């Protein structure tokens, strides 16, 4: 996940989201729901047994379905709540709230390209689009004109050299690259990955067009074989 992020402000959005799952007690509320479902089903099973048996097996199948559904993810309402609270926390900490949705868009594109996923997130799910739109809407409300808000993009990217990119067994690592004037992403893809076609992935990783001509000193993330 750190490899996909492009600034401290984006990281603040992700950490805010995770912290919000805790402060809103999503784990505990989920557990209560699961236990409630379990008791209901046991009661139904007991009722079925009293009424002459035969009903226990279907009731138990139902409880397993409910449990796995409840426990497999935080659920849509909790994800929306964590997005909203999390963005508020990032803004309160002084970060630009307009960055978080950029990360979500980038993640969606990279997930389509490479299958890099994240909890509660599905690139093909219509809900992901709705989450991005809601984040953008709230960010516009929070970020007032004249307010000093931190992004810290170059500072963040400079920390990433050596980070594993993708599955460890694939052997890719990130490198924080300082561009020379006139360099292009296909040049860098050829130099570090031996294949100009990787320029699309480099472009997505950095929110750039793959025909961009880089400026002297521009900080970008590149991927190289270990």
Residues that bind Zn ion (CB under 5 A): 79, 82, 120
Specify the DSSP class assigned to residue 97: G
Q: Which tokens belong to 29?
A: 């509320």
Distance in Å, CB of 83 to Zn ion, minimum: 8
Report CA dihedral (34, 38, 40, 41) to the nearest 10 degrees: 130
Rounded to the nearest whole angstrom, what is the least distance from the CB of residue 130 to Zn ion in the complex? 14
Q: Which residues in 142-170 are b (16+ Cβ under 10 Å) and which e?
A: beeeeeebbbbbeebbeebeeeebbeeee
In angstroms, give the least distance from the CB of 170 to Zn ion: 26
- Residue 179 has phi, psi (to 5 degrees) of -70, 150
Shortest Cβ 60–Zn ion spacing (Å): 30
**Residue number with CB closer to Zn ion (16 or 186):** 16
16 burial (CB, 10 Å; 0-12 / 13-18 / 19+) is: buried
Mention every residue, 6+ apart, whose C-beta is less than 8 A from residue 98: 136, 139, 140, 143
Closer residue to Zn ion in complex, CB, 45/82: 82
Q: Which is nearer to Zn ion, 8 or 79 (CB)?
A: 79
Q: Which residue is nearest to Zn ion (CB)?
A: 120
- Please say which residue, 16 or 120, places its beta carbon nearer to Zn ion: 120
Q: Which is nearer to Zn ion, 82 or 87 (CB)?
A: 82
Smallest distance from the beta carbon of 10 to Zn ion, in angstroms?
Answer: 15
DSSP 143: -
């Amino acid at each position: 996940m750190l490899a996909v992020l492009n600034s401290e402000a984006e990281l603040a959005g992700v950490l805010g989201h995770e912290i919000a799952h805790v402060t809103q007690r999503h784990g505990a509320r989920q557990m209560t729901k699961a236990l409630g479902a379990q008791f209901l089903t046991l009661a139904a099973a007991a009722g079925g047994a009293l009424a002459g048996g035969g009903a226990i097996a279907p009731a138990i199948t139902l409880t397993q379905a409910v449990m796995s559904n409840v426990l497999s993810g935080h659920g849509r309402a909790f994800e929306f709540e964590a997005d909203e609270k999390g963005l508020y926390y990032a803004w309160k900490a002084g970060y630009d709230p307009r960055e978080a949705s950029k990360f979500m868009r980038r993640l969606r594109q990279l997930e389509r390209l490479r299958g890099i996923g994240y909890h509660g997130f599905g690139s093909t799910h219509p809900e992901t689009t709705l989450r991005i739109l809601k984040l953008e809407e709230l960010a516009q409300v929070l970020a007032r004109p004249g307010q000093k808000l931190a992004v810290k993009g170059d500072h963040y990217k400079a920390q990433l050299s050596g980070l594993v990119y993708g599955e460890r067994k694939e052997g890719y690592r990130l490198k924080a690259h300082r561009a020379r004037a006139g360099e292009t992403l296909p040049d860098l893809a050829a130099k570090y990955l031996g294949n100009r076609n990787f320029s699309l992935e480099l472009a997505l990783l950095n929110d750039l067009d793959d025909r961009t001509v880089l400026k002297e000193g521009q900080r970008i993330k590149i991927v190289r074989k270990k």
